[in-house]
Amino acid sequence: MADLQWWETAVIYQIYPRSYQDSNSDGIGDLPGITSRLDYIAGLGVDAIWISPFFKSPQKDFGYDVSDYCDIHDEYGTLEDFDDLIARAHELGLRLMIDIVPAHCSDQHIWFQESRQSRDNPKADWFHWVDPMPDGSAPTNWLSFFGGRAWTWEPLRQQYYLHNFLASQPNLNHANPDVRAALTDVARFWFDRGVDGFRLDAVHTINGDVAPYQDNLANPKFEPGPLPQQQQPFFRQLHDSAQLNQPAIQKFSEAFRGVADEYGDKFLMGELHGDDPVLASQTFTAPGRLHATYNFNLLAWAGLTVDELKNAISDAVAAFNGTGRLTFAFSNHDVPRSGTRQLAPLGLGQEHQEALQLLLLKLETCLIGSTCVYQGEELAFEDVQDIPVDQMQDPWGIEFAPAFLGRDTCRTPMVWKATAPNGGFSSANTTWLPIAKGHLKRAALDEAARPASVYTAFSEFLKWRKTQPALMQANQMSDLSGTAKQIVFDRISEQQTLRCCFDFETLTASFEEV
């Protein structure tokens, strides 16, 4: 059997840099802070780290609004700090991935500042500029993820520009080959500095199909429900009909893959969603495009029952069995923490949080493909539901508070020592988000030293995982089975068939060769 590429079985640890470790007492995490904690990450036994954006940015969406793709935001450090970070990571045997935002940039980026000035400047068509309708209204019915129209009026050009997120995040026009060339230059800049791959943010929101722009169709399956999704007008529409997952996106993914292939064993992981996410994933990972897609099946905001977990896994695996073209995750910086949101659907109380979190970690790292573990999952951190509205930072949450608290609930700073000021995250008087007092009982360095912690148990499991041919030498698995409270499947390689059983009644995992 051919050897798999490193990314086909990788366990990737996601770091939200603003909340990981502050090294200069300003209350905000930074790159030197991450470097100082790499021993902790390496001790866990993961294969790679993925760092959310740290580029120059006005921070209106905390780094996902980039004003310079090839420099570091002052709050996070310098390019020299990044070089130190990647050198130390590689010394410890950790690959390093960074987060590129290819669909949109900040309205403070020099590209947009030039483009907005007139209709005939050199960057005039680097963004989506469209004349108003005869009555002056926006050109289509497209809506923003964060609320309101996806079009904003620019007086200088007397035109609307497109933004799928905040108005300060204008969408790049990927119909223009110069835009794609600029982004492949960004890839080369970071590959030359040694990065091992990219997580490509929201690639399904790249817009490259040009006029005439079409309205989205109505979603016939829409049912009003709880925030954040079912009460937003955005979800009343089918977006793949016009606004999202446009065919022209693949010109970008093919160009980016071409650059990655120039550098050897690099990894491109695309975050995407859509009306048919499995079909979208197949399209994005066709030969010559992205290596894998970041799968949303297990990230449902309100959690999943055992049956729903089985269906979510089965739907994804059915399309990709035998490949490493999927990346699974239960948590990230955009959804409530899995240790909290999975309790109610599974009929469990908070006293079962640690056992459940460990079970979920074992489950996701036994599925085919790679896995992303979000900072704090290894500690069974709970979601933080008591952030005062006046201390919220997430623009999505601020828009809909207090009915919806946004994404701050999973972004509070890491805590390292229960007895240290601010849990060891920072010596500042105030941190950018408040320290979660409930997390102090599972502070990272304390848990790494405690034999009975989730960190220790997961670290031991990852060491065992690396010795199992069925998990490391093939990406083949059987159909799912088990009782109403179990998820059972076989992982299969030429050397081994390993039966994996995850019991949500006893909250234990068991494994046997068959």
- Among residues 446, 444, 458, which one has the least CA distance to residue 509? 458
What structural domains and CATH numbers belong to the chain? 6-105+177-212+248-475 (3.20.20.80)
Task: List the catalytic residues.
Answer: 201, 262
- In the predicted model, is pLDDT for residue 10 greater than 90? yes
The Cα 446–Cα 361 span in angstroms is 20
The token pair at 75 is: 């709050």
> What average pLDDT does the segment 123-146 reach?
96
DSSP code, position 408: G
**Token pair for residue 46?**
């993961």
Contacts with 61 (C-beta within 8 Å, 6 or more apart), sequence order: 165, 166, 168, 169, 395
Distance separating alpha carbons of residues 414 and 151, to the nearest angstrom: 37
Q: Whats the size of the chain, residue-wise?
A: 514
pLDDT tens, 45-89? 999 999 999 999 999 999 999 999 999 999 999 999 999 999 999
- Residue 483 tokens read as 């009782």
pLDDT band at 2 (very low <50, low <70, confident <90, very high): low
Confidence band, pLDDT 50/70/90 cuts, at residue 366: very high
Res 163 pLDDT > 90: yes
Phi, then psi, of 15 in degrees rounded to 5: -115, 125
pLDDT (0 to 100) of residue 259: 98
> What is the percent of the chain with per-residue pLDDT over 90, rounded to a whole number?
89
Tell me the percentage of the chain whose pLDDT exceeds 70: 98
Contact at 8 Å (CB) between 41 and 13?
yes
Q: Phi and psi at residue 271, in whole multiples of 5°? A: -85, 125
Beta-carbon contacts of 39 under 8 Å, excluding residues fewer than 6 positions away, are 92
Say yes or no to pLDDT of 95 above 80: yes
**Position 501 pLDDT exceeds 60:** yes
Q: The whole model's pTM is what?
A: 0.97
424/107 Cα distance (integer angstroms): 35
Average pLDDT, stretch 198-204?
Answer: 97
Q: Is 54 helix (H, G, I), strand (E, B) or coil?
A: coil
What pLDDT digit, counting tens, does each position of 279-336 carry? 899 999 999 999 999 988 899 989 999 999 999 999 999 999 999 999 999 999 999 9
Q: Which residue has the higher pLDDT, 372 or 232?
A: 372
pLDDT by residue (tens digit) across 249-284? 999 999 999 999 999 999 999 999 888 888 899 999
Note the pLDDT of residue 277. 85
